[in-house]
Structure 1
């Protein structure tokens, strides 16, 4: 385009010069007159180009419309032939269309398992398990890397963001987020430990970073009519010390359901935590999340033979073969 403009201006200049040479009287052309003549030629050229482009676009548009019309006719013929000639093939095509247009969630529904131990993967995370083959799947967090994997987490605390001073109904049904701080729920724990034999392990850490654990080779709790009593607690092993055997056989106590053995004290009030309180307890993993040495702290007494609050606790159960 620039070359065309230059040529037009050069041509105009040459014409003006030749005309000047043929005349006996020399007249200096005005600069604005030459520029105006060049611009007029340029605009004429641009109008011509615009007209040609418009014609080409119209041709392409008409061509595309014709192609689309032929394609529609072809598809109609193919569809009619498919329906007349092969009904099974027609169903197959429709099925593929539905499959291709379905949402990702419908195609990649998460599978369910009988327990965390039966997972084929060694990756810790959230999964769906069924207590029985006909029960609804439950979202759980499976620990698949530590202690051989296959552990179902039933309690987890690590930052104090979730309030654990809850009612009986909340402890029965569970609360929190399984990917954050939470309590799994007594009813689900009862169903799982009743359906199959389980063991339990408790991981602990204090605010200075000291890590310990306690493991019991059997664990089972009763149903709500039994007040979710700790019916079975097996033999202890580990590094944290045996603080939980004192709760064996005890019913579960919350701030609004007193099942401990003290007549003049409500242990869930005294410790600010729900548990299988005896009179009261050496374990208060549902107590207050504080770095303090008192009875209301989240504590495991044998950790350091005191009531110093812990910064981390995680209770996990696993199916025993």
Structure 2
């Protein structure tokens, strides 16, 4: 009895309470497998618990964000794939249409277009052309649809210097190159086209810095071989490339092996290493050497482009029949 009373009494004292708490802590440590004798106040326990909850919520939020990102990427990927597939199908159909049209033209000798104005407007490509009223077989020509309403027959095109334009009279007469690349249509075909009606001329130019310019003339005609393919053209209508073709108006065509210019001292074509409508000699030569600079101006040039005769990077000559109003 004395001992129990003593224990109870001790429990009621501050020292007894402290001993009791230490005893509970020791038992708790033994129960949880921990060797540390640590006392956590209610505030510390609350803080620890809140830290655990915060960590758990952040982890779950990260998991949900990752899941959302995966679903979003999957959805966007599906949409992009669908868009790409639709685009591919569209172009395949367009390509099939064009291929079918080309096959029809190739298989049927009586099938051709009378003009680049009559080909499907969405296509800039090679087509079989036979202008009306001329006694000749249909021939391949590149139809340009991107400039000033389209409908242009490309008679000359240069853009990378892959084709040599230092050619003989016969080669300039018959034509050379590929209509789908760099080429010269041929003086004989140009003559036959332009004698079939009234044609206009568009000259498209670009320098090595990427600047592009145009020159438009309201008339264009090339006479036959008997007249040495004399050039005749109308008024300069407009264009920021200016009128540099004017000195060639009325000039006969010349090559290194056939001098038809009016220059009294030697051959312009031989000196400039090209075939062109040289008179005495020129302010433009779109068949000149493909090089950016030359001290003798033997370049593919057009004086009005920047008031010099240094080389251009791209040049093309296009003609189309004038619309009668």
If the length of structure 1 is used for normalisation, what is the TM-score? 0.65
Deviations 1:72-103 (A, max 9, x none): xxxxxxxxxxxxxxxxxxxxxxxxxxxxxxxx
Q: Which 10-residue stretch deviates more, 256-265 or 199-208?
A: 256-265
Structure (1 or 2) with the larger CA radius of gyration: 2
Q: How does 1:266-281 map to 2 (within 5 A)?
A: 266-281=267-282
The answer to whether the Cα contact below 8 Å between 1:232 and 1:248 also exists between their aligned partners in 2 is: yes
* 1:132 Cα deviation after fit: 3.5
| Other-structure match for 2:319 | 317
Compared CA separation, residues 107 and 156, structure 1 to 2 (3 A): closer
* 1:139 Cα deviation after fit: 0.5
The answer to whether the Cα contact below 8 Å between 2:292 and 2:310 also exists between their aligned partners in 1 is: yes
The answer to whether the Cα contact below 8 Å between 1:206 and 1:311 also exists between their aligned partners in 2 is: yes
* 1:107 Cα deviation after fit: 9.5
| Other-structure match for 2:222 | 221
If the length of structure 2 is used for normalisation, what is the TM-score? 0.64
* 1:105 Cα deviation after fit: 5.2
* 1:258 Cα deviation after fit: 0.5
The DSSP-based 3-state class of the residue aligned with 1:148 is coil
> Structure 2 CA distance, aligned partners of 1:211 and 1:108?
35
| Other-structure match for 1:62 | none
Q: Which 10-residue stretch deviates more, 117-126 or 177-186?
A: 117-126
Compared CA separation, residues 238 and 106, structure 1 to 2 (3 A): closer
Compared CA separation, residues 147 and 260, structure 1 to 2 (3 A): same
> Structure 1 CA distance, aligned partners of 2:106 and 2:156?
29
The answer to whether the Cα contact below 8 Å between 2:142 and 2:153 also exists between their aligned partners in 1 is: yes
* 1:106 Cα deviation after fit: 7.2
Aligned pair count reads: 218
> Structure 2 CA distance, aligned partners of 1:300 and 1:256?
24
The answer to whether the Cα contact below 8 Å between 1:236 and 1:242 also exists between their aligned partners in 2 is: no
The answer to whether the Cα contact below 8 Å between 1:123 and 1:145 also exists between their aligned partners in 2 is: no
**5+ long unaligned stretches in structure 1:** 1-103
Deviations 1:82-141 (A, max 9, x none): xxxxxxxxxxxxxxxxxxxxxx95797363011101223321001011133663111000
| Other-structure match for 1:145 | 146
> Structure 2 CA distance, aligned partners of 1:117 and 1:105?
20
> Structure 2 CA distance, aligned partners of 1:112 and 1:267?
39
Q: Which 10-residue stretch deviates more, 132-141 or 191-200?
A: 132-141
| Other-structure match for 2:107 | 109
Structure 1 vs Structure 2 CA RMSD = 1.8
| Other-structure match for 2:252 | 251
| Other-structure match for 1:12 | none
